[in-house]
A and B are shown apart, each in its own frame.
Chain A
Amino acid sequence: MRRTLPGLPLALGTTLSYLGLVVLIPVSTLFVVSSSMTWERFVEVVTSPRTLAAYRLSFSAALLAATINLVFGVLLAWVLERYRFPLRRLVDGIVDLPFALPTAVAGISLASIYAKDGWIGRWLEPLGVQIAFTRAGVVVALVFVGLPFVVRTVQPVLRDLDPEIEEAAATLGASRWSIVARILLPGLAVPALTGFVLALARALGEYGSVIFISGNMPMRSEITPLLIMIQLEQYDYQAATAIALVFLLASFALLLVVNRLTAVYGAPPGVRGV
């Protein structure tokens, strides 16, 4: 007979009261405040050209950045797991940097190196490429914050792949390219998509790293969290809440869709979604 461990009431009680106080009550205010607005005002706020421009930029930049992270994340995981090269373990460790580095620090550092006279920006300037203070800067910052996710979801799966499958395919005459394209990459699709969703979720809400590099021009390079911040600074709590509510619901809907797509192929081992 299995003995049940003690402590469920205490652990569950602590967790639920903590979540209730710190998460649930605050989040529910979003709905309460929005419902105190008239419908006309709500629609007017969330469909104003400035709000729509911010939504468009937030979603397109986050999708682009997460896609870049998907491609390079799989490449990085592959290189780190499959090849031996100098400083490999150090490189492996540094991938986690965006988890630990404050976003404001990342923001000012990226802004300084991608500016016209910055370490990287000065090489791009003659090519006519401007990163800092443009929408490209937003994408650069979002690539930074989302960088570790795909690497860390793909790595363990790649490590546990049975080498015999590859060997069997090679014995049967498959070329290396077709083994990679038809056997290995499909096996990595689910963890890679999971990492993509995590990176996307992070990128959608990101604020600190973006505002220093984006230039923050209304209608052009203003992300949604910044627009919410500006409304709050003007004490327009209702407008801020309306923009935030629609943004939050749209983000959840997008994440649900991507999660559903992932679920079609089955859940990846050992990795949880958003």
Chain B
Amino acid sequence: MTAGGLRPPRGRHVDEPRAVRWILVGIAALFLAAFLVVPLVAVFAQALREGAGVYLAALSEPAARAAVTLTLIVAAIAVPVNVLYGLAAAWAVSKFSFPGRHALMTLIDLPFSVSPVVAGMLFVLLFGARGFFGPYLSEHGIKIIFALPGIVLATIFVTSPIIARELIPLMQSQGSEEEEAALTLGASGWRTFLHVSLPKVRWALLYGTLLCTARAMGEFGAVSVVSGHIRGRTMTLPLHVEVLYNEYRTTAAFAAASVLTLVAVFTLAVPFLVERRSRPLV
């Protein structure tokens, strides 16, 4: 939708006076500055406060590099899993109607309304030393909590609705006439999915995947519970930021934070650049 393009020009009788318009824009700008723009700028200002040398040193210390590596590993597992799940869930919910469909949609959204701390706690209750499977796991030497599998599980839980939510409204509004045409012309189910359905949702899938990646790399509360904060072993980048900040190594904390901020800005810039019109509600 090109805003204003097709709309008949507004006469003065259906618009606010000029002064009112500028006052409203001014209030909105002040609000955004105080809550979004200043915090965003502050991350980079604080990170570079002591110069580029200190900034680069903070990013290349072993703990920082280990944190970056772990964060990338977690995202590399969690994101593809959630892409497959998101596609399957969106396909089931938006192309078919079956009993319990609404309940299923609520269930898909459920992780969004569970506090990240509670999400992490659920996995501690299941796999922790005193959890349900704790005795069994320690007997077999399997470590889930305070190790990579727990971090991955907690991240998957928290980020699971993102891609599905991005795809469902779009798939629903698109209907399935083109898919039906392809099937009538003799294409197989997989071929129809890959060559008809997937291209129709490619931007939503791209944006959902980017957002899921940013959130997987930045998840804090849930990971904080299951990680155990073992330096160089189970510290993801956001936890590394927390530890540095609590040790009063503010510049180093903001340097690590700036990496995550760049990921977030990139995530927002992509739909901006590909001129995506309909925005998601996550």
Contacts and interface: CB of A to CB of B under 8 A. Distances in A.
A185 interface: no
A25 B126 contact: yes
Interface in A135-163: 140, 143-144, 147, 149, 152-153, 155-156, 159, 163
Given A3-B180, A22-B157, A79-B28, A102 B220 contact: yes
Contacts of A100: 211, 214-215, 218, 263-265, 267-268
Given A103-B218, A272-B281, A205 B169 contact: no
A30 B110 CA distance: 14
B95 A97 contact: no
Contact of A76 (B31, B122, B126): B31
A271 B257 contact: no
B260 to A, nearest CB: 5
Contacts of B37: 94
Interface string B30-49: 01101111111011001000
Given A7-B189, A235-B130, A274-B113, A106 B39 contact: yes
Contacts of B245: 108, 212
A206 interface: yes
For the residues of A in contact with B, the DSSP-based class is: helix
Contacts of A152: 279-281
B121 A241 contact: yes
Given A100-B264, A229-B224, A2 B32 contact: no
A212 B250 CA distance: 12
A104 B40 CA distance: 13
Contacts of B115: 204-207, 224-225, 228, 244, 247-248
Contact of A113 (B8, B38, B242, B268): B38
B253 interface: yes
A117 interface: no
Interface string A45-88: 00000000000000000000000000010011011111111000
Interface string A3-26: 111111011101110110011111
A110 B158 CA distance: 23
B238 A208 contact: yes
Contact of A95 (B29, B36, B108): B36
A229 B121 CA distance: 8
Contact of B31 (A15, A72, A99, A240): A72
Interface in A197-236: 198, 201-202, 204-208, 212, 224-226, 228-229, 232, 235
Interface in B91-137: 91-93, 95-96, 98, 104-105, 107-119, 121-126, 128, 130-132
Chain A interface residue number, banded = 35 or more
B125 A147 contact: no
Interface of B: 1, 3-4, 7-8, 10-11, 13-17, 21, 24-25, 27-29, 31-32, 34-40, 42-43, 46, 84-85, 88-89, 91-93, 95-96, 98, 104-105, 107-119, 121-126, 128, 130-132, 153, 156-157, 160, 169, 173, 176, 179-180, 183-184, 189, 192-193, 211, 214-215, 217-221, 224-225, 238-239, 241-242, 245, 250, 253-254, 257, 260-261, 263-265, 267-269, 271-272, 278-282
Interface of A: 2-8, 10-12, 14-16, 18-19, 22-27, 29-30, 32-33, 72, 75-76, 78-85, 89-91, 93-106, 108-110, 112-113, 118-120, 140, 143-144, 147, 149, 152-153, 155-156, 159, 163, 166-167, 170-171, 176, 179-180, 198, 201-202, 204-208, 212, 224-226, 228-229, 232, 235, 237, 240-241, 244, 247-248, 251-252, 255, 270-272, 274
30 contacts: A6-B192, A15-B85, A15-B88, A27-B114, A27-B122, A29-B125, A72-B31, A94-B36, A97-B268, A100-B218, A102-B218, A102-B238, A102-B241, A103-B238, A104-B220, A105-B257, A105-B264, A112-B46, A144-B36, A153-B281, A167-B13, A170-B11, A176-B16, A176-B17, A201-B112, A205-B116, A240-B121, A244-B117, A248-B114, A274-B113
